[in-house]
A and B are shown apart, each in its own frame.
Chain A
């Protein structure tokens, strides 16, 4: 065979050589054609050439190219008309060898005719050179191929010899094979009979063994039953069943079959019994079911029975759990016997565990069989029903978990609950437990929400309690005079705000447990996002801060509408305290608490949350309202006093004033007390520029120039116009006074507000009365007294002076016999009053005295 390969190689080589030869030949044997007709035939002939043999045509083209090459070179050589010439050869390009003779002729003639001799000579030498080169090439080729050709011939000859030898051997082999076939045929024919017999015998043997098995079957089955090897029995029976069924028309077989059936029925009965008793755990149960299924019991019935069996047991567990939940209900909210963690533990280990087992074995038993979808559906409804009851129970139990102390038990219980459900869902992925798990998570989330709600409630409650405590603390020092109940105020505020802050922190830390790292449900998106931002930040912290402000504001509304309308009267000190509390919250506490919350809960959720500034604004507003209300209430107290004193007196028939009226002393006392009270919580605030001798200066202005000028002219006939004019001009230059205007958060502003209200009331009341001479004088004395003491409380003493001027002026107008008292007398009287009062004020470093 190797030779054959060589041969083919050789053949290829030979062919190539021949092809080369062909290429070079056409020059020697050109087909004769009419030289005159070459032009119009160019195209068809070219086409024909290509169609006949592509290879040949190519070769001839090659040769022609060689032929024309000198001419082209010559064209490029630069004779004048080179532009027209090259066209022809290029047009003649596709010409084939058939045209060559005429072309050659034409070419030669043309050459001869047109070219000069030297060029012809050149051409000729060139051509000769080329021909020589071609010849040598051809020779080399022929040489090479010739060698190969010779070796190929040798090989072929050798092969011829070898084949002849091989043929002989093959003939010999064929003869031998024929002999062997013959022998084999004879052997098989001899053995045929025996073989058939053996086959038959072995068949009979098997049959006999089967028969024996059949006959022994009843006894075996009974034995199995005795040994309680139910599995074995069922296997035996299932083997024999079809045979028995087939041959049941034969009496003996029927007997066996009947026996078997009887036994198997017994067996089935026993199995069912066992199944029904069900005490032996889920695994045994599963085995029973498997056997029963093998016995051909209807699967669906078994499913139902299986589930109902399992259901009974699970129900029992549920019932025990329920009993536990309702355990304390009878005792009117007494705590249930076990704590929540225990409860969840029990629920998880018993109920959920068993449910898990049931679901798993059920799936293993039934889900893989035909009718699996129905079976699965049955299981799903079964599980759903039980789980929903369980969830209801858990929720009921969770709802009872209202103790607000430690949150960790609850969180741990919830965690366990959630973990268990998750495990369950993973264990039995298809049984609708995924939904159950989702619901479980929902329960956990709900519990967490409820919990935050409870904490909010608790915080509110705590705030309420704190307020009650504060109220009690404020009310406690009963016999003390007004001025001295104060000192506790700052401490009360401090303790109140500290207690609140601690409580908030504690609650935050409790709630924080919900998002602890080791808690599985904390990684849920709900607990990461909305729970932190909406639940805790908004629902708990912000809501608490809001409710704090609202509660605080509620005190002033309740006071305003219900102060006399039956609502509980809020002690003014509480208002003041709350106002300061709100202000503190605005200043720092709110942002502190919120920052704390944000840090603890790393709010990732970017849902919009209440900004700190909004809360601060709320708190500030509350503080403002409370302080305004405080001013109103205190102003009202003082003004009621003044009003009563003005309204109840007969000013026409009063006697000459000898003393400052007690009520004025009371007013000053109250103002001092309020001053002390406010001073405990609020800063001093700014006063308008005030010199150390201001009391003297203003006093003199008040008493002599202004006062006199205001009502002195009222004696003269031209009085009314002048008075009006004067007072109007005065008013023109004094700013309008807003009586119940908002105050600033400082002591001076508060006191100014209170005194404004009081004095304006005094003024209005005076205008409604008619005075006798002494009535006017009494007012003079009173106002002077107030003048002496009140300036120090207010931001702008001119305000007090202005109002007091108005009072005295109005009293003078309303006087039937306006004879004012001598200033010196007034001063003496006031000083006398002061000495009697002095003891009370010396302690507070009060040394403003008249200049008398």
Chain B
């Protein structure tokens, strides 16, 4: 079996939204939301059979509009949130809702992909995040490792914190904060930090990155001019609580220590166009994935600023994550930061890249033309990190 060959899946529609099924830790499953103004939009549930290198898909109809953002609940496999465009009377409004997918699809199905489009099932609306007072929804983020009851959403210049009640059938706005300033401020992206008891959220607007304490809704740090141009995406290092990665229209990926926001810890400039997405690997935070509108996906090995600068050590805090793997205690030389691979399977701008929640060595990337590519971390590197 050719292990490292990418697996490509084509959607009929253009697509921007991609998420792993966060609550699923056994099967490799991604959710893709399509963008079409003329047809019913869909959510594709992509199951990847690692053993046989086969993709199984299921399609759910998402009739309310084209999907701009999608995120899966960390607690319930069947629950997901989308941000979608609603068009009415030549008015376009971006809304967000929480949905539940049909039970039988939660953990994948074994239908053949061919006939799935004919009998596509629809999503069940759990609740609507009412944003009429706040503006267009730019994104939704679930509380990481939470019970799937809390989420934040970004609506223009508002950061909204929602509580889902009554088995997620009602969303109550529990807290909110508005970004004040001159001009039209708009959040472009937000991430919920898994550290500090999940009390911190980072958002990006224009060229600035801001950190918020959601208990008080106060700003805790602000990186002005983090990028030369618009900041497109953020991600927290899952293992180092103060480390944050950002990317933007200046083609750069920057790594920040939020305790010292004057200078980035490290800057990567590998893409030749805007970088839309940056993702830390959930287990091995030296692996950083970026997707760009130069149609490339780049996997970087940022060992020097990772939690394992000398390779994997047994006495690391995240030992539990690694217990399945070999625990040979070898102290290695400090490794060099490097670009591991550049994936060029896409032919249009890549707007989303995501690691699988089940397999730390596998990731998916989605380009605008609807092409989903599933790739693996090169074997040599995998063994290098593990052993």
Contacts and interface: CB of A to CB of B under 8 A. Distances in A.
B225 interface: yes
Interface residues of B, number: 33
A495 interface: no
A728 B250 contact: no
Contact of B368 (A719, A767, A815): A767
Nearest to A769: B92
A738 B90 contact: no
Interface stretch (B22-30, B31-39, B301-309, B311-319): B31-39
B37 A816 contact: yes
B280 interface: no
B348 A731 contact: yes
A814 B37 contact: yes
A772 interface: yes
B63 interface: no
A589 interface: no
A816 B90 CA distance: 9
A714 B293 contact: no
Interface in B330-387: 344, 347-349, 368-370
B272 A740 contact: yes
Interface string B210-236: 000000000000001100110000000
A772 B295 CA distance: 28
Contacts of B295: 736
B12 A721 contact: yes
A741 B273 CA distance: 9
Contacts of A772: 90
A743 to B, nearest CB: 12
Contacts of B349: 764, 767
Contacts of A815: 37
A529 interface: no
B207 interface: yes
Contact of A770 (B87, B250, B272): B87
Given A565-B225, A653-B90, A764-B349, A740 B251 contact: yes
A720 interface: yes
Interface string B1-28: 0000000001011100000000000000
B274 interface: yes
Interface in A541-589: 560-561, 563-566
Interface string A706-738: 000000001000011100100110011000101
Nearest to A561: B228
A760 interface: yes
Contact of B228 (A564, A652, A738): A564
A653 B93 CA distance: 13
Contacts, number: 70
Contact of B273 (A564, A760, A814): A760
A563 B293 contact: no
A609 B37 CA distance: 67
Contacts of A386: none
B347 A764 contact: no
B357 to A, nearest CB: 28
A724 B369 CA distance: 7
B294 A770 contact: no
Nearest to A562: B225
Contact of B347 (A566, A719, A731): A731
Contact of A564 (B12, B13, B225): B225
A739 interface: yes
A720 B293 contact: no
Contacts of B182: none
Given A714-B38, A772-B90, A720 B272 contact: no
B91 interface: yes
B84 to A, nearest CB: 12
A412 interface: no
Contacts of A760: 273, 293
B90 A652 contact: yes
A770 B369 contact: no
B264 to A, nearest CB: 9
A351 to B, nearest CB: 55
B347 A732 contact: yes
B85 interface: yes
Contacts of A636: 228-229
Contact of A563 (B12, B14, B228, B272): B228
A764 B274 contact: yes
A408 B370 CA distance: 76
A418 interface: no
Given A566-B225, A720-B36, A727-B369, A740 B273 contact: yes
A801 interface: no
A433 B235 CA distance: 72
B117 to A, nearest CB: 12
A813 interface: yes
Interface in B188-216: 207
Nearest to B251: A740
A739 to B, nearest CB: 4
Contacts of B250: 560
Given A564-B228, A652-B91, A770-B92, A728 B347 contact: yes
Nearest to A738: B272
A606 B164 CA distance: 79
A814 B370 CA distance: 14
B12 A724 contact: yes
Contacts of A814: 37
B272 A739 contact: yes
B345 to A, nearest CB: 12
B91 A741 contact: no
13 contacts: A560-B228, A561-B228, A564-B228, A565-B224, A652-B91, A652-B92, A720-B36, A724-B370, A731-B347, A736-B344, A739-B272, A739-B273, A770-B92
- A-B pairs, top 9 by smallest CB distance, nearest first, are A565-B225, A738-B272, A739-B273, A731-B347, A720-B12, A652-B90, A740-B272, A770-B92, A653-B90
